[in-house]
Chains A and B, each alone.
Chain A
Amino acid sequence: KQEVTQIPAALSVPEGENLVLNCSFTDSAIYNLQWFRQDPGKGLTSLLLIQSSQREQTSGRLNASLDKSSGRSTLYIAASQPGDSATYLCALGNDMRFGAGTRLTVKP
């Protein structure tokens, strides 16, 4: 059974800092990996989708990498802003197995 772990569970940084969120998984035979953000009381918004044949995807200040052999993905956020404050979740494969998320707070 695929296990997905996100570390840290919570992170607080000052505005402007670059940061990395981690997602690890136990079964490297994945179809794809997605990163989402979730604002309080809201649904999930897809940020980046990495297919299993890809190693990274970029969108604006966000960069996600995928290393299947080590069972890891990272989400890099450059020049963080208070509006980036949310919970960030990774999800694996067709059946969308989610981690518990990292709650990010960016302080002005």
Chain B
Amino acid sequence: GAGVSQSPRYKVAKRGQDVALRCDPISGHVSLFWYQQALGQGPEFLTYFQNEAQLDKSGLPSDRFFAERPEGSVSTLKIQRTQQEDSAVYLCASSQYRGGETQYFGPGTRLLVL
């Protein structure tokens, strides 16, 4: 069956530009997570959805970061006025019911801000 997919796989943005990253979770999965992974580091939690409800956004680094999942399936992570420190791989994961279960990760979107 299809796994978690993310698009685009690579994105180059000029500083100050807005970007939108898309995540398609496994069909029927209730929970969806976004992570940011800097080079040589482990992923860092950004935000968590259960269906369309954003239950935890404590990891979002600033108010320039915004995530939504309006219909409880596809999710979009938006970064406004990108800065060089936003350059990282953004990973999306989904799990069948709730947090604490096995998470299935997408391949990530590699964002480079120049």
* B-binding residues in A (CB < 8 A): 4, 6, 31-32, 34, 36, 41-46, 49, 89, 91, 93-101
Q: Number of B interface residues at 8 Å Cβ cutoff, please give it.
A: 24
- Cα–Cα, bound, A91→B103 (Å): 11
When distances are taken between beta carbons in the complex, the residues of chain B under 8 Å from A93 are 100
Q: Is the interface of A mostly helix, strand, loop or mixed?
A: strand
Name the residue on A nearest B48 (C-beta).
A95
Residues of B91-114 at the interface with A, using a CB-CB cut-off of 8 Å, are 91, 93, 99-108
Partner of A34, one of B35, B91, B103: B103
Listed by A's residue number, 5 A-B pairs whose Cβ atoms lie within 8 Å are A6-B42, A36-B105, A91-B43, A97-B45, A101-B42
When distances are taken between beta carbons in the complex, the residues of chain B under 8 Å from A45 are 105
- Cα–Cα, bound, A89→B107 (Å): 16
Partner of A98, one of B44, B48, B100, B104: B44
